[in-house]
Chain A
Amino acid sequence: MTRFSAFSLFAKAFGGHQSWPEQWPDASPKPAYDAIIVGAGGHGLGAAYYLAKKYGITNVAVIEKGWLGGGNTGRNTTIIRSNYLYDESANLYDHALKLWDGLSQELNYNTMYSKRGVMMLAHNVHDVQSFKRHIHANRLNGVDNEWLSAEQAKEYCPPLSISPSARYPVLGAALQRRGGTARHDTVAWGYARAAAALGVDIIQNCAVTGIRRGGDGAVLGVETERGFIASKRVGVSAAGHSSVIMQMAGLDFPLESYPLQALVSEPVKPVFPCVVMSNTVHAYMSQSDKGELVIGAGTDQYVSYSQRGALHIVEHTLAAICEIFPIFRRMRMLRTWGGIVDVTPDRSPILGKTPVPGLYVNCGWGTGGFKATPGAADLLAYTMAKDEPHPINAPYNLDRFRTGRLIDEAAAAAVAH
């Protein structure tokens, strides 16, 4: 692996950038591994990387049904924040946020993490009270979040309309300055490249078709389209298809899979300096470094695996965008797409051990998993290496649905999907 640096870039420029080696080999499956991760998105590749890097378990395979980073890693709206209400959530999401810091340096791959701030708009008295409660709870947990008046919000994001005659006028906003965006593809690519350099096999176009268990119930390995692969440790990080994979091991999970849509506009010059979210009118938006306005729509109402949704969902979001940002009323939208998100009843993830020995799971991130990528990956690796959850992910067990100790974030993506 060539280390990226200003010097290597300069040197390769003389050869017209023709001599860069491949960033990771397209591996074929070996008969057995020390650990297998199902799903080569950011979460799964990151888990493989941390298993190799932190715990010295390098004989690892990441098995992917499609291509690397082609699921929700490449379909989200790239927003990063950690201003969640409950202590368990603040610990989990802020763990991830701290790992975003320095991730580019650690992976030697530019993830383009930009702390441009995430601003959440309050449009009514309930919003104001709820956001202020969040701000106080966040501060008690050491997570930055501050209250802005409508004028301060306008100053922070000039395209915002704070006209009092708006149907839902802006009364103020909560701002997390450490929040922002990152380039989603590079997170998968960066982890893949760094993990492969440590000896991890990344096996693409190889769907898992079954999970083989021994007489004692423990995991023996996975059946795939390319044959059986043995491993006593299997971590499932399969997003929308998690419940399907878990059923292969005989486990029923409290998950439902819904299409979640997003869209981008035609690219324009830098006009939008931060991330703005509005729960009440249901819109959120940022601008990518390519110049496209990146807009998140809602989930469709029904369970589906089709990776597409209906136009009226997009229309609803765009109506809200036009209301909050009248400047964009004549923008043309370039493309829309959908991803399948696995939603838990309490809208918090399930991350830890399962009732099947040797089977671990990282799922249920619903509509807001991208921001947690490094944290979830790190914690899944810890749980698989030690066979016990880290204190941060211990509350995110499957048993909470039996005991009733739910972590009820309700709208983990900050917009009511």
Chain B
Amino acid sequence: MLLVHCPYCEEKRAEIEFAYAGEAHIARPLDPAAMSDEDWARYLFIRSNPRGRHHERWRHIHGCGRFFNAVRDTVTDKFEVTYKAGEPRR
């Protein structure tokens, strides 16, 4: 089980307190109607799915309830850093 550091609670807690919430830094387009089908499909479905550094969202669902971002290595599952939502991409 992963140990996840919540940047709001400033504590390392067990993974079962958290919900994974997919890849981070994917902004919803401001004007979907103006987009091509290709771009809309890319926004909806295409994910980087890298072997290595992955930017992802987590939510401390059984704690403070807040969303935050993390960088984790997908080969070792080791967290590099977690940071608050709204902060720039690490």
Contacts and interface: CB of A to CB of B under 8 A. Distances in A.
Interface string B54-89: 101000000000000000101111000000000000
Given A243-B49, A257-B49, A345-B45, A303 B54 contact: yes
B12 interface: no
B56 A303 contact: yes
Contacts of A390: none
Interface in A272-314: 301-306, 310-312
Contacts of B42: 252
B16 to A, nearest CB: 6
Interface in A312-332: 312
A399 to B, nearest CB: 9
19 contacts: A241-B51, A243-B49, A244-B49, A255-B47, A255-B49, A256-B47, A257-B49, A301-B20, A302-B2, A303-B23, A304-B75, A305-B74, A305-B75, A312-B1, A312-B15, A312-B16, A345-B45, A401-B41, A402-B37
B1 A303 contact: no
Task: Report, nearest first, the 10 A-B pairs whose CB atoms are least far apart.
Answer: A254-B45, A301-B20, A310-B1, A402-B41, A243-B49, A302-B20, A252-B46, A401-B45, A401-B41, A402-B37
A376 B77 CA distance: 31
Given A301-B19, A401-B44, 11 more contacts: A244-B49, A256-B49, A303-B23, A303-B47, A306-B74, A306-B76, A312-B15, A345-B44, A401-B45, A402-B41, A403-B37
B28 to A, nearest CB: 16
B38 interface: yes
A117 to B, nearest CB: 35
Nearest to A399: B41
A306 B72 CA distance: 12
A254 B51 contact: no
Contacts of A253: 46, 49
Contacts of B72: 302
Contacts of B20: 301-302
Contacts of A252: 42, 46, 48
Interface size class of A (residues with CB under 8 A): 20 to 34
B58 to A, nearest CB: 8
A123 B44 CA distance: 33
A311 B1 contact: yes
Among B16, B47, B49, B77: residue with most chain A CB under 10 A: B49
Contacts of A306: 74-77
Interface string B1-12: 110000000000
B56 A302 contact: yes
Contacts of B1: 310-312
A343 to B, nearest CB: 10
Interface in A377-417: 401-403
Contacts of A310: 1-2, 15
Contact of B49 (A301, A303, A311): A303
Nearest to B77: A306
B79 to A, nearest CB: 10
B83 to A, nearest CB: 17
Nearest to B14: A312
Contacts of A256: 47, 49
Contacts of B16: 312
Nearest to A301: B20
Contacts of A244: 49-51
A254 B75 contact: no
B70 to A, nearest CB: 9
Interface in A213-255: 241, 243-244, 252-255
A247 B2 CA distance: 28
A379 B27 CA distance: 38
Nearest to A257: B49
A401 B41 CA distance: 6
Nearest to B15: A310
A303 B50 CA distance: 9
B89 to A, nearest CB: 17
